[in-house]
A and B are shown apart, each in its own frame.
Chain A
Amino acid sequence: MKWTNLITLLLASMMVASVQADPETDRQALRDFYQQKFPDIDLAEFKNGVYAIDSKMREQWLEMEDFPAYEIAIDEGEELYNTPFANGKSYADCFGDDPGVKHNYPMFDQARGGVVTLEVAINQCRKEHGEAALPWLVGELAEISAYMAYQSRGKSIDIKIDSPEAIAAYDDGEQFYYTRRGQLNFECSGCHQQNVGKMLRAERTSPTLGHTTHWPVYRGRWQYVGNIQKRFQECNIQVRAVPFEAQSETYRNLEYFLTYMSNGMELNGPGSRR
């Protein structure tokens, strides 16, 4: 083989390598970005979202946390979780003895060929035991996930991406995050990365790192506990784009990407936000 051919081959293989998604490199790059942007803040603090970077809002939030509005949802969720299905089985037959499994979700299900969020897993469990699926965004499903999130507090997010199909799903979520959409022409990264910490009127934009640690969330604007995909829809509507269906492939892949970005961070859900 001539030298020139060898060089061409080497260059070609380098190019192939560079276009393939490498989730771990992406995650580290994102962490580096926020550490440079906020050199005085411990990245672990980002589990508290915007309250990690705004001391005034943090005070108000800590006051809310004295009597958190999501507590009722945890209690309701616990009761629902422990109520046996009509066939005598229960959620524990699907998730095991410890309901604190949120750190493993979303996971890529090789057999089903797609991303399974905690909410999808809860509804799958119900269907397997002859129960009807619950509505995705609010109500009983959000309460059950609030209880499971509470039981998962203190655990570190541990998302795995270990097959070409899983990487493709991650890639799809990443592309969504960096794509402009809606009449306002915003991409997720526009507010949460390039302009992170800036004020939009009275609201400060929150960092992407830590976005998934604290769901479901009692949101003041909603006056109830809702799942993260409810917030995805709200965000899309705010930029005047048509929102996707809850638990659609698009949103599941987005949640997969977004949660992987926070891999290793401590879960502290459910949370409360303005």
Chain B
Amino acid sequence: MLRVFESVNNLLLTAGIATALLLATGLVDAQEGAIADNSVEAELAKRIETGRGVFETRRKGNCLSCHLVIGSELPGNAGPPLIGMQARWPDREALKAQIYDPTLRNPDTIMPPYGLHRMLTDEELDVLVDYVLSL
């Protein structure tokens, strides 16, 4: 996960330097900087989309089985609706830990321990967190 942040930061840094250089040489306008920002957004959007696949696929997360997401078809209601997730889970790692093994916070929960029982890989958990935080 950290690596992704690093690469995003590097990308921003590179873009920033490039923009400064180009501005300095008077060869660029503000539009080029916007393109660099877009590529960062595009990267995150791709991860969110992959995460959505993990979330919805029955043999992966199958999360709709219990959680409602706005616009989803036939969601379950055994778990809480997933909305305002960034406000509810400001700490990204805490959310990942919750999906990894929810019984640590609530021993009686019915939610499966997705990481502990190897239902999802670490990478799948990461993109899943990206998606859930987008809700």
Contact = CB atoms under 8 A, between A and B. Distances in A.
B112 A200 contact: no
A199 B77 contact: yes
Interface string A166-195: 000000000000000001111000110011
Nearest to A202: B74
User: Which residue among B66, B75, B103, B112 has the maximum number of chain A CB atoms within 10 Å of its CB?
Assistant: B112
A201 interface: yes
B65 A200 contact: yes
A198 interface: yes
B110 interface: yes
B110 A195 contact: yes
B35 interface: no
Contact of B66 (A183, A194, A200): A200
Contacts of B81: none
A200 B77 CA distance: 7
Interface in A188-242: 190-191, 194-195, 198-202, 205
A185 B104 CA distance: 13
B53 interface: no
Q: Which 10 A-B pairs have the closest CB atoms?
A: A198-B78, A190-B110, A184-B112, A199-B76, A200-B76, A195-B78, A202-B74, A199-B77, A183-B117, A201-B74
19 contacts: A183-B112, A183-B118, A185-B103, A185-B113, A186-B110, A186-B112, A190-B110, A191-B110, A194-B108, A194-B110, A198-B66, A198-B78, A199-B75, A199-B78, A200-B65, A201-B65, A201-B74, A202-B74, A205-B78
